[in-house]
Structure 1
Amino acid sequence: MVVEQKVELRHLKSRVTAAESLVDALEKENTAMEARMTAAESLAEELQMENDAQATELAVAQLELSSLQIRLTVSEERVEELEKQQEVQATELAVAQQELSTLELRLTVSEGLIMELEQQQEGQEMDIQELQNTNIVRKLAFSASLLTSGQGNTEKEDAPLLYKNVFTNIGNHYNLDTGYFTAPARGVYYFRFTGHLAHSDISMIMKMFMNEDLIVTSGHHNYGSNYADVSNGVVLQLEVGDVVSVQLRGKVWDDHYHRTTFSGFLLFSL
């Protein structure tokens, strides 16, 4: 029995040693598990902190997103309002453009009418002026003698006579300073001159000129006669600005009887 107990004791010791070894192993494993648990807890704590931070960031992001959504909604409403206003303005602009086109058309018509009226007015003014000029021209006549006073001979050598004693000068187209009559209008005119020869021993030749052209002549050669009278007349078609004058070669007499004259008047306009 003692041997058996010894054997059993050895077995028990072996089993205790094995159990102690197992306990040591379990303790080591437990230590390792505790270390892992501590690490896991630390990691969990870190993860929790990160989660909290992310939750905070998420909350902030959600707030910003909400703010952006509100702003987006406001912007969309504003855009919609602006689009409506733009549509209204486009409609008003189209109406305004149509009204402007209508006004431009009316303005063009009015300007054309005004231009036409102005042209008509200018034509009427020209007609009135022409009628006035025609009326003035119709009232055209002149007549003058050589001397204003006294008596005596005037001697010239192919030079215009200056008729100083003006009886009539309607229209003032005869110039007593030059002896020229200037035609104010195109028309047919009648001219006449007279001359008296007295107290002279030389001849008298009177010539009527239109511009530089000799038209008619009348004269008398003195062959011992103390007195002689000459005259001539002509109907001329004149243009505006044509001049008519009487030139003398020799001597011509005039006195208070006004024997030497130059006259003319308009027959009719052309």
Structure 2
Amino acid sequence: FLMPLNKVNTCAYILGYLLMSYLFYMVNEQNDTEPIILEGKCLVVCDSTPSSEPAGNALGMSVRSGSGRVAFSASRQTNHEPTDMSNRTMIIYFDNILVNVGTHFDQESSIFLAPRRGVYSFNFHVVKAYNRQTIQVSLMVNGWPMISAFAGDQDVTREAATNAGLVIMEKGDKAYLRLERGNLMGGWKYSTFSGFLVFPL
């Protein structure tokens, strides 16, 4: 059975048009940068022409998290004297909130509560109040010291103890600063405590 030539050309034209339409649709779908939503959580976005990623990203991929906005920073406006502390855990309280995105840092207790499992970055900078003494501070996670810092030059009054690190935290874990020894200077907001979620796990 042979089809007339003009009908063959018509069928070929229709098939070609349908194929081009399908390819155009697939390309547009692939370049769509809207996040994939599953149960209210943003998963992974693949963008062949990312505008917010640094140059040189060969894969052209960006990852966004719907619950990734977690950050806090606090300072202390008055000195922190051990004799004035009413708690035996020696928690350093911060009375001035600079940033608290997600409101996971509680000012009253000065404890950060991890909203989800992930890698968190913390840093602190504290200044001792007097010379002839040593100040030592620890970043505590669930009651365990993770990183510490000290300043012990006996001839320097305004010496700083500072440190920073990454910590894997589970949802509900608590992080805070503990004054191990010495007197903390808080005037003029010299002493600070900050942290943020680097990425979820």
TM beyond 0.5: yes
Is 1:236 aligned to residue 167 of structure 2? yes
How big is the alpha-carbon RMSD for the aligned residues of Structure 1 and Structure 2? 2.1
TM-score, normalised by the number of residues in structure 1: 0.48
Question: Which one of the candidate residues 175, 183, 195 is aligned to 1:251?
Answer: 183
Name the counterpart of 1:142: 72
5+ long unaligned stretches in structure 1: 1-125
Residues 56-102 of structure 1, C-alpha deviation per residue, up to 9 Å, x if partnerless? xxxxxxxxxxxxxxxxxxxxxxxxxxxxxxxxxxxxxxxxxxxxxxx
Deviation at 1:201, TM superposition (A): 4.0
Aligned-residue sequence identity (percent) comes to: 24
Structure with greater Cα Rg: 1
Residue 131 of structure 1 corresponds to which residue in structure 2?
A: 42
Q: Quote the offset at 1:209 in angstroms.
A: 0.9
TM value normalised by structure 2: 0.63
Q: Secondary structure at the match of 2:41?
A: helix
Alignment correspondent of 1:86: none
In the TM superposition, residue 127 of structure 1 has moved relative to its aligned partner by 2.3
Residue 259 (structure 1) shift:
1.1
Question: In structure 2, what is the Cα distance between the partners aligned to 1:198 and 1:213?
Answer: 25
The DSSP-based 3-state class of the residue aligned with 1:234 is strand
Match of 2:9 in 1: none
- Residues 92, 110 of structure 2: 8 Å contact kept: yes
More helix by share: 1
**Greater share of residues in strand:** 2
Q: Cα offset for 1:222? A: 4.7
Of the three residues 148, 161, 169, the one matched with 1:217 is 148
Pairing 1:65-144 to 2, within 5 Å after superposition: 127-131=38-42, 134-135=65-66, 137-144=67-74
Match among 111, 114, 124 for residue 193 of structure 1:
124
Q: Which of 162, 173, 187 is residue 104 of structure 2 equivalent to?
A: 173
Aligned residue in 1 for 2:115: 184
Residue of structure 2 aligned with 1:204, choices 116, 132, 135: 135
- C-alpha distance in 2 between matches for 1:139 and 1:153: 30
Moved over 6 A (4+): none
